[in-house]
Structure 1
Amino acid sequence: MELHASVVINGLPALLRGAATTLYVCSAGIALSLLVGVALTIAGQSRFRLLRWYVRLHISFARGTPLFVQVMIVYYLAPSLAAGLSPLSAGILALSLNSAAYGSEIMRGALSSIPKGQLDAARALSMSRWRIWRRILLPQVFVLMLPPMTFEFAGIVRASAILSVIGVTELTRAGVQIVASTYRPIEVWIAVGTMYFLMIFTIGAISRRLENSMRLLRSA
């Protein structure tokens, strides 16, 4: 079987645009998921049973159903809730809602590692619940969350290929379009796979550096 490098060279601009869209979608998704994850974590510790029930339902649904199904639900449901919502925005929303469930669990684990004495001291100083979260818990939680959330970001990059089915021209859809016009699938998918690998390898390297930095900070 003969491989033609010219197929990849000619299609490289489209693949790079697709990779840029993938990184944009995933970056926006992880940023939004952090906000939603914080809200879920706080709601999960609320004294209101309805909020705690919703958090359990959200996490169970996100972890217990295929991401493809979640993307399709958001894609078809979102326009009725927000007119004019583009496939790109729907894709970002779907990824963020899914990732927020995992982010909330990561945050809950980070919270459990904070010494209880800090909370007792804050309550003894009559600090409000909001101030305890803002001044004591969240700053520490975000630092503890950094390494596992970079791994979650890598997972979102892999999962973002699903968005090709709703018309988002990310890396996978760019590959599909090039294959449709060149009829050279092997070269194209090798190039697409290589680009995904490079992105995820880079994210993994950043995560390992963050973990090492965290380990040094704890031992200092």
Structure 2
Amino acid sequence: MSDFLSSTLLFLLQASRMTILVSSAGLLIGFFIAVAIVGACLSHIPWLRRIGNLYTFVFRGIPLLVQLMLAYFFLPAAGIHVPAWVAAVVAISLCEGAYIGEILRGGFLGIPRGQIEACQMLGLPRLDVLFRVEIPQALKLTAPSLINEAILLIKASSLVSVVGVTEITRTAQNIASSTFRPLEAYAAAGLMYLVICGALALAGHYAERRLART
């Protein structure tokens, strides 16, 4: 029993690297997409607002599992042949762009308008205002929601197993089917997710406290 659990945890530990890679890449790329979407949604240009709102509506309205399948089959059909994990990152990034965008939009709307007007009166370039004033304050205001979204993404990354990405859930499935011991395999997978999400929550709370002091 102990030998089985130790070997299972070892396999799952190796697979966790793919879980962390896919989740981190999706979160990072999705953040930059979200910044662009927020800029569009809060723009004074009507057609930009419509594009931003349409993007958010579409990618929040379609389940991530369906988006993963679409990316997995669409990219090869378009002549773009990439590994399965790259297709998974593409789908997760686009989806996270919509969710993080809505979180950040609330943060941007919470910034006192007087600060933005003061920056404009000082003649600061728009990008400087965005990256030095708006984004830092929006991150501070939305830190708890962003931490929660990152934890949810770690758990949602288990869906990439359906497109053949060998991460924690896929590895647990393989172990369960080859050993006929699904209870132990999935319990070990649950423990692995718990450790990763717990570590992320602790790191997030530490970052939140640091932001609160600034």
TM over 0.5: yes
Indicate which of 25, 29, 34 corresponds to 1:28: 25
Aligned residue among 20, 40, 44 for 2:41:
44
Query: Cα–Cα, structure 1 residues 128 and 210, in superposed 2: closer, same or farther, change >3 Å?
Result: closer
Does the 8 Å contact 1:147/1:210 carry over to 2? no
Tell me the residue number matched to 1:58: 55
Amino acid of the residue matched to residue 65 of structure 2?
Answer: F
Higher mean C-alpha deviation, range 67-76 or range 133-142:
133-142
Structure 1 position 170 matched with structure 2 position 167: yes
Residue 84 of structure 1: which of 57, 76, 81 is its match?
81
Q: What SS does structure 2 have at the residue aligned with 1:114? A: coil
Unaligned regions of 5+ residues in structure 2, if any?
none
How do 1:134-149 and structure 2 match up within 5 A? Answer: 134-149=131-146
Aligned mates of 1:75, 1:21 — CA distance in 2 = 17
- 1:38–1:82 distance in 2 versus 1, CA, 3 Å: farther
**Which ranges of 4 or more aligned residues in structure 1 deviate by more than 4 Å?**
none
- 1:82 is displaced (CA, Å) by 5.9
1:155-194 paired onto structure 2 within 5 Å = 155-194=152-191
Structure 1: where are the runs of 5+ without partners?
A: none
Counterparts of 1:54-133 in structure 2, within 5 Å, are 54-81=51-78, 83-133=80-130
Matched residues in 1 for 2:198 and 2:136: separation? 28
Q: Distance in 2 between matches of 1:179 and 1:187?
A: 8
8 Å CA contact 1:107–1:145 kept in 2: the answer is: yes
CA contact (8 A) 2:31 2:97 kept: yes
Take 2:106 and 2:118, find their aligned partners in 1: how far apart are those partners?
21
Cα distance in 2 for residues equivalent to 1:100 and 1:37: 4
Give 1:46 shift. 2.5
CA–CA separation in structure 1 for the residues paired with 2:131 and 2:211: 21
1:119 alignment partner AA: I
Question: Percent identity, aligned pairs only?
Answer: 32
Cα 1:10–1:131 change in 2 (3 A) is: closer
Shift of 1:81: 4.3
RMSD: 1.9
Partner of 1:194, secondary structure, is helix
Deviation at 1:63, TM superposition (A): 2.0
- Residue 71 of structure 2 aligns to a residue whose secondary structure is helix
C-alpha separation in 2, matches of 1:49 and 1:82: 34
Kept in 1, the 8 Å contact 2:140–2:208? The answer is no
TM-score (norm 2): 0.91
**Preserved CA contact (<8 Å) 2:30 2:94:** yes
